[in-house]
Chain A
């Protein structure tokens, strides 16, 4: 029997409102809640608690004083960050590289997917796809080793080739300008297998009747590709591109940190938001700037992701994140 606001355990009188109802629902759903509780706890600890910690950006954080007793300084950390001449450069670099990556990856992956679609021999197709997928299993550390095999100034493959051709060796790891090209190449190399696979899987969904109808009308292969195959990919291309733009402030830390081997001389062209944050925090111990920059990054990233997803949702609801 239920008292006022009490828990109804005997199912004669089910409470319909108030705290009693809340407890009743809790009890009824307890199995589900218990099932999902561990994950809730983990997400709370590792994602939500740090969210609360963003007030560090407004404080002069001292390790021994902790978050709560450190002195409040308002926006001073932010001023400090923006007054740093590198700040704008870093943001521009991040945006620049990510934009280049998006465009290059799009063109190359779609191109390779279209070409894969022309391969009819199943076994050979599998071989090509497997080799393209190798980089997916490698971490950026391993890829950095591979790059080193090519870029080692003394014995690397590229410099040996240059010598063979009568050219001078290049000291790859101390000349920043070359990395404007090296980084996109490495980025495309690593993600080609994965990206091409996504587009290729999409191409599997084309109804063969379209092709039959087209060839009956006398279209050749080029026309078929231009008017049927590629347009079929437009929705997916649009969505993936927009979603990629949503992440335009997040650089791939592994790429920008491991590949240049953390060489200071290359920072001019390889230091982006992620690596800047890491170095400010873990190397220079400059928590003030790092926390301000980090908060800006999180907020801008949030705005980007939400707005791009809203756009995608308008177009094709099932492809948006929400």
Chain B
């Protein structure tokens, strides 16, 4: 980096890079483990356990899933629709608010800002929200319950407001003099200039929607509406049912029988995971710079 001179450092280069290589491995190996288990045959798993490099490569788990892909396709459909819809809707609704809040001549600016901001300090809690959504709004098992709560993201509204505040004032002044109304200014002047922040916030929302499972956990029981991550969770938690059987055995005094875990569909679980996560992991890192920028701006005062 600029400024640090080239004298021998306290940490020789070899040690430094070794450290980081080891560290990077910590992040790559778990991912690799899932890939490798997904292409390991089940018999080999029973005999040799999970290995980072399987003896033989066996795609039967993938073949099995893709023979009847309806579950995973439906989950993909739900996830794509809800994450893109929430991202696009948020970009529209959130930027409109962000814009209004950035304008000094909006008389109610402080009031609305506080109205939004207060929700970051206090919130009604799980129970009233749950009652509201399931009983009074009747949103259980609908597509909207997976979209609407994601739109209520005050943090990102403030992020956009900060960005709009930094646009040069002359643009607004000259537009107002030319007789443009606020909607015009917003749509034809501000938005085109805001591509960076829109890209960042759009990607943040998209990622949030893609990874979301909590809403489904609370409000979705209809199989057709399971998003991807929730589907993964269900597959994983089948195991815990077995664990709970084990608990009964323990309570009854018998030993923990580890062979319960020699299930025939280990590789299938991991294959499902790769199918669900793979595309995202291939795409999102390309946009990493947007995420880093958005996060660093947002974390030191939103």
Contacts and interface: CB of A to CB of B under 8 A. Distances in A.
Given A118-B11, A141-B232, A225-B10, A32 B106 contact: yes
In the complex, which of the residues A36, A54, A156, A277 has the most CB atoms of chain B within 10 Å of its own CB atom?
Answer: A36
Given A201-B296, A263-B240, A51 B123 contact: yes
A217 B130 CA distance: 64
B127 A56 contact: yes
Contact of A46 (B129, B229, B250): B129
Given A39-B157, A174-B243, A209 B49 contact: no
Nearest to B300: A319
Say whether chain B's binding surface is mostly helix, strand, loop, or mixed.
helix
Contacts of B240: 173, 261-264
Given A145-B273, A150-B33, A115 B213 contact: no
B122 A321 contact: no
B256 A171 contact: yes
Interface residues of A, number: 122
B112 to A, nearest CB: 6
A8 interface: no
Contacts of B183: 31, 35
Interface string B49-65: 11110000000000000
A135 B28 CA distance: 10
A49 B132 contact: yes
A160 B117 CA distance: 51
A145 B117 contact: no
Interface in A131-145: 131-139, 141-145
B299 to A, nearest CB: 6
The secondary-structure label for the interface of chain A is helix
Choose among A43, A57, A120, A149 the residue with the greatest number of B CB atoms under 10 Å from its CB: A149
A143 B9 CA distance: 36
| Most A-side CB within 10 Å, residue of B11, B121, B186 | B121
Interface string A278-313: 100110000100110011011101100110000000
A142 B277 contact: yes
B258 to A, nearest CB: 5
Contacts of B244: 263-264
B250 to A, nearest CB: 7
Interface string B1-26: 11111011111000011011001101
Interface string A167-178: 001010110000
Interface in A32-60: 32-33, 35-36, 38-40, 42-43, 45-54, 56-57
Q: Which 9 A-B pairs have the closest CB atoms?
A: A208-B3, A53-B128, A50-B124, A294-B125, A31-B182, A155-B49, A146-B30, A139-B211, A154-B261
